[in-house]
Chain A
């Protein structure tokens, strides 16, 4: 199943590795930040609702 990449194995796998690392990292950072901000806003709004 795994293709024979011959002398270019390092080049091709490196390209896929760098891409997956960069895009995966961007998705992870974006999702974590979105969750953090959503929770912080919910806390702020809950505090305001409590204080009237």
Chain B
């Protein structure tokens, strides 16, 4: 069985239609359980007090902001190489979801930073690269809206996506490149010593799973909408030709 069969719009609609209810249910369950666990059942941090509860929003949102762009990059490369329309439409569908995740990460980061750092914002390497990533999201969405020819729009947005990937990766690794920033190192690591404490770790993992499932659900739903819109435009074009 080949993965490429999902590039067929009819096959994609069939499989995604069957998978979507389960994705929504799992997303709601993981997010509900993770956030409730994190908010109600975790203790205050000895340094950060109750603000540590923002961890369960900020980290998953930041992770998805970056990974959404990387998913768009993969979809864009598939478009470049194999010219599958579903992959271009999936990249387009993911952009507003990734942009929203970026706003959530920036907003929760600012709210967290104010009491901990004494400032809402600082031009720290990670924050700055994240802000630039957000601007790329806006540019990517605007480019899709601005170009009438869908294939040309897919080509140009794919190029934007490749260029923006530099900032997506910088957002992830900026703390390793530059040590002068205020932002702390990663909350999760393969090295157990560097991880957050176990009492925060499991609800955080559950929240990350919830954000991933929410992202998948939204992208599937929005890609289905983009496929239907494309079919509508094709039918309208046929009717217009008489």
Are B100 and A26 neighbours in the complex by a CB distance under 8 Å?
Answer: yes
Q: Given A3-B39, A15-B111, A44-B235, do A22 and B100 touch, yes or no (CB 8 Å)?
A: yes
Q: Given A16-B57, A26-B97, do A37 and B225 touch, yes or no (CB 8 Å)?
A: yes
Question: Closest CB of chain A to B221's CB: distance in Å?
Answer: 5
Are A26 and B50 neighbours in the complex by a CB distance under 8 Å?
Answer: no
Q: State which residues 40-78 of B face A: CB under 8 Å.
A: 40, 44, 49-51, 53-54, 57-58, 61
- CB-defined contacts of A45 to chain B, threshold 8 Å: 235
Task: Tell me the number of A-to-B contacts counted with CB atoms below 8 Å.
Answer: 90
Are A19 and B104 neighbours in the complex by a CB distance under 8 Å?
Answer: yes
Name the CB-closest residue of A to B214: A23
Q: State which residues 1-36 of A face B: CB under 8 Å.
A: 1-9, 11-12, 14-16, 18-19, 22-23, 26-27, 30-31, 33-34
Q: Which of A12, A23, A30 contacts B104 (CB 8 A)?
A: A23
Are B111 and A18 neighbours in the complex by a CB distance under 8 Å?
Answer: yes
- CB-defined contacts of B61 to chain A, threshold 8 Å: 19
- CB-defined contacts of B111 to chain A, threshold 8 Å: 11, 14-15, 18
- Taken together as a complex, chains A and B put the C-alpha atoms of A2 and B44 apart, in Å, by 13
- Taken together as a complex, chains A and B put the C-alpha atoms of A38 and B214 apart, in Å, by 21
Are B51 and A19 neighbours in the complex by a CB distance under 8 Å?
Answer: no
- Taken together as a complex, chains A and B put the C-alpha atoms of A33 and B35 apart, in Å, by 27
Contact digits for B66-108, partner A, Cβ 8 Å, 1 yes 0 no: 0000000000000000000000000000001100100110011
Are A37 and B57 neighbours in the complex by a CB distance under 8 Å?
Answer: no
Q: Given A11-B114, A15-B111, A18-B108, do A6 and B49 touch, yes or no (CB 8 Å)?
A: yes
Q: Which of B40, B107, B218 contacts A15 (CB 8 A)?
A: B107
Contact digits for B224-242, partner A, Cβ 8 Å, 1 yes 0 no: 1100110110011001000
Q: State which residues 108-122 of B face A: CB under 8 Å.
A: 108, 111-112, 114-115
Q: Which of A5, A38, A40 contacts B50 (CB 8 A)?
A: A5
Interface centre among B50, B97, B114, B239, by most chain A C-beta atoms within 10 angstroms, is: B50
Q: Given A18-B107, A18-B108, do A12 and B228 touch, yes or no (CB 8 Å)?
A: no
Q: Does B172 contact A (CB under 8 A)?
A: no
- CB-defined contacts of A1 to chain B, threshold 8 Å: 40
Q: Does B183 contact A (CB under 8 A)?
A: no
Q: Does A50 contact B (CB under 8 A)?
A: no
Q: Which of A8, A16, A48 contacts B115 (CB 8 A)?
A: A8
- Taken together as a complex, chains A and B put the C-alpha atoms of A20 and B228 apart, in Å, by 28
13 A-B contacts (beta carbon < 8 Å): A11-B51, A12-B51, A14-B111, A15-B53, A16-B39, A19-B107, A22-B107, A23-B100, A27-B218, A34-B222, A41-B228, A48-B235, A48-B239
Please give me the 5 A-B residue pairs with the lowest Cβ-Cβ distance, nearest first.
A5-B50, A8-B50, A15-B108, A15-B54, A34-B225
